[in-house]
Amino acid sequence: MSDQAFVTLATNDLYGKGALVLGTSLRNHKTTRQLVVLVSPQVSNNMRAVLGKIFDEVVLVNVLDSKDSAHLAMIKRPELGVTFTKLHCWALARYSKCIFMDADTLVLCNIDELFEREELSAAPDPGWPDCFNTGVFVYRPSIETYNELLQFSTEKGSFDGGDQGLLNSFFSNWATADINKHLPFIYNLSSVAIYSYLPAFKQYGADAKVVHFLGNTKPWNFSYNPKTRCVIGDSHDYSSLTHPEFLNMWWDTFTTSVSPLLTEHGISKEPRSSGTQELILSSNFQEEKLSEAVSQLSFTPPPPVVSSEERRKKWEQGQADYMGEDSFQNIQKKLDAYLN
Ligand code: UDP
Ligand code: MN
């Protein structure tokens, strides 16, 4: 089965961690296929070395960015322009068939049977089920298709600014042409679906084969207590916390198999660890929230004791004043004041 592969993508080290957990989960469930990860130059050499331990191939690709900020703003995910980079997966022409999987997915059992499906097979998107979700899809690498996709992207663009809008326009008859190309939802169970249709989740969730941590809070944005084997959460309503068992599984895989490899290669375990154990969310997540607030609401931070530039530097070094000035509560208060 050397001409078939699972393919994922990471354009930075955080998504690299996701790719490592995904790759480990595929290995743990004894896939007989090759594992390939596409990485962009921004991924550190150390991370590439660790990826090389789990994946058969680490392929360097350049970043393709839609730069379509208008459409990306509609899905509140300004960072997803780079998902056009996914299109490179069609250029892996040495493989006859592949399954692309987002770096924020986790497999719960062997899913090699997906290779029996044809291009383009995918599961419905939970937000608009006549569109397929591009977190998991079966495709046939082909330079011809690759070039067509690149041309399509420059001529037509993407209706959501990311790869999903583009691929749904390109494979536009997916919804109606062939039911065999509709993967069951259990091959791409998104955390969103858990709270949007809880009874269905209770009925069918136990059959899940692939979990997809779709949305702007990723597993690596949470903290984890390895002693209790539980993700640490509080009243913040994050979809993954509604049913944290999958999130706990992700972290369990990370802690058991990935973290030791990262330590061996001198990469810190926690995403930008701050050393503050009580933190509910990682510094990275709070920082994202802060910059989101700044851009969306012209949020002005409280008059800083240190200069704003110094403060920003501290944020970037993961040394925000979480318990004081930069506490989530303070940010929340500012936002509330602004909204009122
Ligand atoms: N991705 C990446 N770097 C980024 C954003 C996305 O490498 O900055 C890749 C990664 O494989 C990710 C996929 O593109 O899983 C799609 O993005 P994401 O999963 O964040 O989108 P969502 O599933 O939440 O819509
Ligand atoms: Mn995803």
Question: What is the CATH classification number for the domain harbouring 58?
Answer: 3.90.550.10
Which atom of ligand 1 sits closest to the CA of residue 10? 7
Question: Could you tell me if residue 248 is inside a domain?
Answer: yes
Question: Could you tell me if residue 189 is inside a domain?
Answer: no
The alpha carbon of 124 and the centre of ligand 2 are apart by a number of angstroms equal to 14
204 and 148 inside one domain: no
161 and 203 inside one domain: no
153 and 207 inside one domain: no
229 and 324 inside one domain: yes
Which atom of ligand 1 sits closest to the CA of residue 215? 24
141 and 261 inside one domain: no
Domain that holds residue 174: 4-184
pLDDT score, position 318: 54
Task: Output the 3-class SS for the chain.
Answer: CCCEEEEEEECCHHHHHHHHHHHHHHHHCCCCCEEEEEECCCCCHHHHHHHHHHCCEEEECCCCCCCCHHHHHHCCCHHHHHHHHHHHHHHCCCCCEEEEECCCEEECCCCHHHHHCCCCEEEECCCCCCCEEEEEEEECCCHHHHHHHHHHHHHHCCCCCCHHHHHHHHCCCHHHHCHHHECCHHHCEEHHHHHHCHHHHHHHHHHCCEEECCCCCCHHHEEEECCCCEEECCCCCCHHHHCCHHHHHHHHHHHHHHHHHHHHCCCCCCCCCCCCCCCCECHHHHHHHHHHHHHHHCCCCCCCCCCHHHHHHHHHCCCCCCCCCCCHHHHHHHHHHHHC
The alpha carbon of 168 and the centre of ligand 1 are apart by a number of angstroms equal to 17
pLDDT score, position 286: 40
106 and 74 inside one domain: yes
Looking at 128, 151, 184, which one is the last position of a domain?
184
151 and 229 inside one domain: no
133 and 244 inside one domain: no
160 and 202 inside one domain: no
The alpha carbon of 102 and the centre of ligand 2 are apart by a number of angstroms equal to 5
Looking at 132, 153, 184, which one is the last position of a domain?
184
The alpha carbon of 113 and the centre of ligand 1 are apart by a number of angstroms equal to 24
| Ligand nearest the Cα atom of residue 19 | 1
Ligand 1 lined by 15 (C-beta under 6 Å):
yes
Question: Could you tell me if residue 117 is inside a domain?
Answer: yes
114 and 236 inside one domain: no
180 and 77 inside one domain: yes
Low-confidence ranges of the chain (pLDDT < 50): 235, 237, 272-305
Ligand 1 lined by 11 (C-beta under 6 Å):
yes
pLDDT score, position 218: 93
Ligand 1 lined by 68 (C-beta under 6 Å):
no
84 and 130 inside one domain: yes
pLDDT score, position 294: 31
What residue owns the CA closest to ligand 1's atom 6? 83
Question: Could you tell me if residue 192 is inside a domain?
Answer: no
What is the tally of structural domains in the chain? 2
Question: Could you tell me if residue 141 is inside a domain?
Answer: yes
Question: Could you tell me if residue 193 is inside a domain?
Answer: no
pLDDT score, position 229: 86
Ligand 1 lined by 82 (C-beta under 6 Å):
yes
Residue-wise pLDDT tens digits, 145-159: 999 999 999 899 999
